[in-house]
Amino acid sequence: MIGVVGTALLSAAAHYGRLLASVDRRIVVRAPATRGGQRTWLAVTGLGSRSAAYTAVAVAQCLRRGQAAGTGGPARHWPLLALAASDVARMVLCRAVARPRPPAENQLAHCKGASFPSRHTALALLATGLATGSVPAAAGTAAVVGLSRIALRVHWPTDVVGGWLFGYGWLAASRIVADTITYGRGRPWSADTPRRRPWPCG
């Protein structure tokens, strides 16, 4: 419930109040001072792109399918479906909150649409979690990608926090659904995680 409640509260604050603006002013992440630094942050931010996220989950599913022969039905495609559904849900939330991005003259990377929650941060967390089943890996990847979004001046810090909470909540919900789909048939969600939860529900 942590991800769901946290995302809801931050969404309301971003839409209706100036509280987040005062928080954002107190969080400082230096912008890259050189072209090399900018290219480095752009490479990092690419880890949260749609192409990287969907590719990672698809490859992980292919490998997992080869290790667990006989797995089929909805569970076979669930990770990709969960990723796509989260992408649509985030887009709806983003348009509903309609938070402006940082000033265009300060932006160091291409971006479009409203600012909250950070899509790159959410996709990085969810895709890494679905591909690896590891919460530390998912949280770490999302944290680094989130820092890149702030450094490139395309998101406010609280956008990144919102993206992290959104991704975490969706990851936990995805695990619950995956367990429901597969355990009834006597098969674990993946061959290397038999009947155990690699991340908490929250």
pLDDT per position as a tens digit, 46-84: 999 999 999 999 999 888 765 554 455 556 788 999 999
Q: What is the mean pLDDT of residues 161-177?
A: 92
DSSP state of 89: H
pTM of structure = 0.83
* % of the chain with per-residue pLDDT over 90: 58
Determine the pLDDT at residue 69.
46
**Pairwise CA distance, residues 98 & 69, whole Å:** 45
**Pairwise CA distance, residues 9 & 90, whole Å:** 15
For the chain, the maximum distance between any two Cα atoms, rounded to a whole number of angstroms, is 56
Out of 3-12, 20-29, 147-156, 164-173, pick the least confident. 3-12
Q: Does residue 107 surpass a pLDDT of 90?
A: yes
Determine the pLDDT at residue 17.
62
Q: What is the pLDDT of residues 112-140, one digit of tens each?
A: 999 999 999 999 999 999 999 899 999 99
Helix axes 157-183, 119-132, angle to 10 degrees: 30
**Pairwise CA distance, residues 124 & 45, whole Å:** 9
Which structure tokens are listed for 65?
Answer: 């399918």
HSE-up of 177 (CA within 13 Å, CB side)? 18
Q: Does 8 or 140 have the greater pLDDT score?
A: 140
Q: Does 161 or 201 have the greater pLDDT score?
A: 161
**Pairwise CA distance, residues 147 & 40, whole Å:** 12
Q: Does residue 200 surpass a pLDDT of 70?
A: no
Residue 184 — pLDDT band, cuts 50, 70, 90?
Answer: low
Cβ contact 130:64 at 8 Å: no
Q: Does 8 or 15 have the greater pLDDT score?
A: 8
Determine the pLDDT at residue 195.
44
Q: What is the pLDDT of residues 12-48, one digit of tens each?
A: 888 766 778 888 888 888 889 899 999 999 999 999 9
Which structure tokens are listed for 67?
Answer: 């290790």
**Pairwise CA distance, residues 83 & 76, whole Å:** 13
Which structure tokens are listed for 169?
Answer: 């909540």
174 CB burial (10 A radius; 0-12, 13-18, 19+): buried
Out of 4-8, 19-23, 66-70, 159-163, pick the least confident. 66-70
